[in-house]
């Protein structure tokens, strides 16, 4: 059986595999009681995590929490730390300062 990492198809620039999804509860800074983190593995084995709750920057562009690591646990931890560090930049957040990723994208 062919390993997914070795698949080469003309016109496809990259393939990443979703290796984990977590539901996170945060009750202090976000206007929602929970959000999700998905972790993807690239063809070289690198792991990257993203939150589905995005924080709008001053121009209104939404950015997720992002983390990288070599294990699922480290990647989850780094993603949450990145997200919480961004949240710590303000004392009070309003619902309109967040965007939720489209469920079909997440």
Conformation bin of residue 49: beta by default, left when phi > 0, alpha when psi is -120 to 50: beta
Q: Residues 4-33: what's their mean pLDDT?
A: 92
Provide the residue ranges of all domains of the chain, joining segments of one domain with +. 13-95
Residue 41's pLDDT is what? 96
Residue 60's pLDDT is what? 81
Q: What is the pLDDT of residues 28-87, one digit of tens each?
A: 889 888 999 999 999 888 999 999 999 998 888 999 999 999 999 999 999 999 999 999
90 pLDDT band (50/70/90 cuts)?
confident
- Tokens for 21? 């999804």
11 pLDDT band (50/70/90 cuts)?
very high
Query: Using CA atoms, how far apart are residues 73 and 8, in angstroms rounded to an integer?
Result: 29
């Amino acid at each position: 059986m062919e390993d997914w990492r070795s698949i080469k198809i003309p016109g496809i620039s990259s393939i990443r595999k979703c290796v984990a999804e977590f539901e996170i509860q945060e009750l202090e800074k976000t206007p929602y009681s929970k959000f999700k983190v998905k972790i993807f593995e690239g063809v070289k084995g690198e792991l990257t995590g993203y939150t589905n709750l995005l924080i709008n920057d001053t121009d209104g562009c939404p950015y997720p929490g992002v983390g990288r690591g070599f294990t699922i646990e480290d990647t989850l931890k780094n993603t949450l730390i990145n997200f919480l560090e961004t949240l710590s930049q303000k004392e009070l957040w309003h619902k309109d300062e967040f965007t939720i990723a489209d469920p079909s994208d997440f």
